[in-house]
Amino acid sequence: AQKITQTQPGMFVQEKEAVTLDCTYDTSDPSYGLFWYKQPSSGEMIFLIYQGSYDQQNATEGRYSLNFQKARKSANLVISASQLGDSAMYFCAMRADNYGQNFVFGPGTRLSVLP
Partner 1 sequence: EAQVTQNPRYLITVTGKKLTVTCSQNMNHEYMSWYRQDPGLGLRQIYYSMNVEVTDKGDVPEGYKVSRKEKRNFPLILESPSPNQTSLYFCASSWGRQGPYEQYFGPGTRLTVT
Residues that bind partner 1 (CB under 8 A): 4, 6, 31, 33, 35, 37, 43-45, 47, 50, 52, 91, 93, 97, 100-108
3-state secondary structure of 99: helix
State the nearest-atom distance from the C-beta of 80 to partner 1, in Å.
Answer: 21
State the nearest-atom distance from the C-beta of 83 to partner 1, in Å.
Answer: 22
Do residues 58 and 66 touch, judged by C-beta distance below 8 A? yes
State the nearest-atom distance from the C-beta of 51 to partner 1, in Å.
Answer: 9
- Which CB, 22 or 97, lies closer to partner 1? 97
Largest CA distance in the chain: 44
3-state secondary structure of 64: strand
Do residues 20 and 67 touch, judged by C-beta distance below 8 A? yes
- Which CB, 13 or 36, lies closer to partner 1? 36
